[in-house]
Amino acid sequence: MAKAPSKARGTRVRRQPDRGRYDRATIDAILDAALVAHVGYVDGGRPVVVPTLHARVGDELLIHGSAASRTLRALGGGIPVCVTVTLLDGLVLARSAFHHSVNYRSVVLYGEARAVEQPDEKLAALRALADRMVPGRWDSVRPPDRRELRATSILVLPIDQASAKMRSGPPSDDERDLDRDVWAGVLPLPVTVGEPRPDHLAEGLDVPCHVRDWQRPGLAGQDA
Amino acid sequence: MAKAPSKARGTRVRRQPDRGRYDRATIDAILDAALVAHVGYVDGGRPVVVPTLHARVGDELLIHGSAASRTLRALGGGIPVCVTVTLLDGLVLARSAFHHSVNYRSVVLYGEARAVEQPDEKLAALRALADRMVPGRWDSVRPPDRRELRATSILVLPIDQASAKMRSGPPSDDERDLDRDVWAGVLPLPVTVGEPRPDHLAEGLDVPCHVRDWQRPGLAGQDA
């Protein structure tokens, strides 16, 4: 297991350290597969956690920052955030209550978030967010006008204090429980893609490839 | 839309307030449908967000508290937490980049978490957590022994400072964009239940009903 340097306290997985991973390939794959991130920040001494959309672009994570950006503006600079993404892959049903668990992949990322201010950088960030959500989408829709761009708030933070944690495979039962008359195993919970629901479209407008063939790499945990 | 009293600042939905809901039926349904919660707390002035399993029991939320409990013990009492659960129901593809969105249901819950200390209360909490994950599971597995009970950390917090936020339905395009030659609509992303994967079971041990018929109420957003 390759271990990349981590810069700060808090980045090492302390609980069940055998589940920790620190290589960027693992971290990036989880960030890219997750559609929703949970952003935590401190507001008046109190923790706040908001769900948001995100996109990794190289060594940075972009997040829609409407909630935290108010705090950010109030402080006039970067604010410490913790961004956590979690993919649930399955339920792990053991022979004992104690060893029940879930199969999952998660990343915890610490950093100072800054607001994207320049219109050009903001436009590029919005494009990245749209194309992460649905690759190829940006080029087929109307781009934001100046007012929409102003109304959008995006935060960016470097990916340099990150760790991944994951569990996969069957339950880890105690030796003493293996002969019990209990069904044990994994119940996979894949996210699937439903039938696209068109919204009052003109006749003859087919479902485009970028919608029909949409899939998220690693979204459904194949190894659950 | 019924609005239950909310006790503290921060509980009202400030962004897109038309998406906010405060009635307990809505809040409870989302808490009960979600399998993973994200718990935020402040550690040394810094935000920390960890994924965890949870179970609502009446007016309280139980969470596996291994990470936060260290902080809790250090402080010797309750700590302010923010627990957020999010169900992603679908991608909302609009005719403009600006109106792209997701259909989702989320709850943000603030409170002071306390550790469950008494063995009896802890046992009851573990039972609730197991039976929330897989209803009926507890009675078919080996219950925790004294050592396992000591090794388990559970936090509890009251559900009295909570708000829900949700979006459903088609994209909210501008009037000016409706005639564009762009496919618009919703791509539903239901969570499904895969085939149970047994773990080296004795022959003749069938998949029990509580596994075969497992489903989470409202897990897959039918109204995405």
Q: How confident is residue B85, by pLDDT bands cut at 50, 70 and 90?
A: very high
Predicted confidence (pLDDT) at residue A5 exceeds the cutoff of 50: no
- So what's the pLDDT on residue B220? 57
CA distance B138 to chain A (A): 7
Q: How confident is residue B221, by pLDDT bands cut at 50, 70 and 90?
A: low
- So what's the pLDDT on residue A35? 93
From the list B46, B84, B177, the residue facing A49 with the nearest CB is: B84
Chain A nearest-CA residue for B14? A67
Residues of chain A contacting residue B141, judged by C-beta atoms under 8 Å apart: 94-97, 100, 180, 182
Contact across the interface for A137 and B93, Cβ inside 8 Å: yes
Contact across the interface for B49 and A148, Cβ inside 8 Å: no
Most confident stretch, A39-48, B69-78, B200-209:
A39-48
Contact across the interface for B181 and A205, Cβ inside 8 Å: yes
Contact across the interface for B194 and A90, Cβ inside 8 Å: yes
Q: Give the mean model confidence (pLDDT) for residues A140-162.
A: 93
From the list B170, B177, B191, the residue facing A142 with the nearest CB is: B177
Contact across the interface for A100 and B144, Cβ inside 8 Å: no
- So what's the pLDDT on residue A4? 42
Q: In this predicted model, what pLDDT tens digit does every residue of A122-136 receive, in sequence order?
A: 999 999 999 999 999
Q: In this predicted model, what pLDDT tens digit does every residue of A165-175 receive, in sequence order?
A: 999 999 999 99
Which carries the bigger pLDDT value, residue B23 or residue A223?
B23
Contact across the interface for B96 and A148, Cβ inside 8 Å: yes
Q: Give the mean model confidence (pLDDT) for residues A175-199.
A: 93
Asked which of A24-28, A200-204, B154-158 is least confident by mean pLDDT, the reply is: A200-204
Q: Whole-number mean pLDDT of chain A?
A: 87
- So what's the pLDDT on residue B217? 72
Which among B39, B134, B172, B183 is the top mutation candidate for probing chain A, defined by the most A β-carbons within 10 Å of its own β-carbon?
Answer: B183
From the list A83, A134, A181, the residue facing B91 with the nearest CB is: A134
- So what's the pLDDT on residue B10? 57
Chain B nearest-CA residue for A68? B15
Residues of chain A contacting residue B20, judged by C-beta atoms under 8 Å apart: none
- So what's the pLDDT on residue A125? 95
Contact across the interface for A207 and B181, Cβ inside 8 Å: no
Residues of chain A contacting residue B102, judged by C-beta atoms under 8 Å apart: 35-36, 53, 133
CATH number, domain B17-173+204-212: 2.30.110.10
For B66, phi then psi, to 5°, come to: -60, -45
- So what's the pLDDT on residue A68? 66
Query: One-letter amino acid identity for A133?
Result: M
Asked which of A29-43, A54-68, A96-110, A176-190 is least confident by mean pLDDT, the reply is: A54-68
Residues of chain B contacting residue A187, judged by C-beta atoms under 8 Å apart: 134, 193-194, 196-197, 211, 214
- So what's the pLDDT on residue B5? 39
Q: In this predicted model, what pLDDT tens digit does every residue of A74-84 receive, in sequence order?
A: 665 788 999 99
Contact across the interface for A86 and B171, Cβ inside 8 Å: no
Predicted confidence (pLDDT) at residue A67 exceeds the cutoff of 80: no
For domain A17-88+102-172, the CATH superfamily is Electron Transport, Fmn-binding Protein; Chain A (2.30.110.10)
Which carries the bigger pLDDT value, residue B25 or residue B5?
B25
Between β-strands B197-198 and A185-188, what pairing exists: parallel, antiparallel or unpaired? antiparallel
In angstroms, the CA A196 to CA B189 distance is 10
Predicted confidence (pLDDT) at residue B131 exceeds the cutoff of 60: yes
Interface predicted TM-score (ipTM) of this complex, two decimals: 0.90
- So what's the pLDDT on residue A201? 82
Contact across the interface for A141 and B95, Cβ inside 8 Å: yes
Residues of chain A contacting residue B175, judged by C-beta atoms under 8 Å apart: none
Q: How far is CA B101 from the centre of its chain?
A: 21
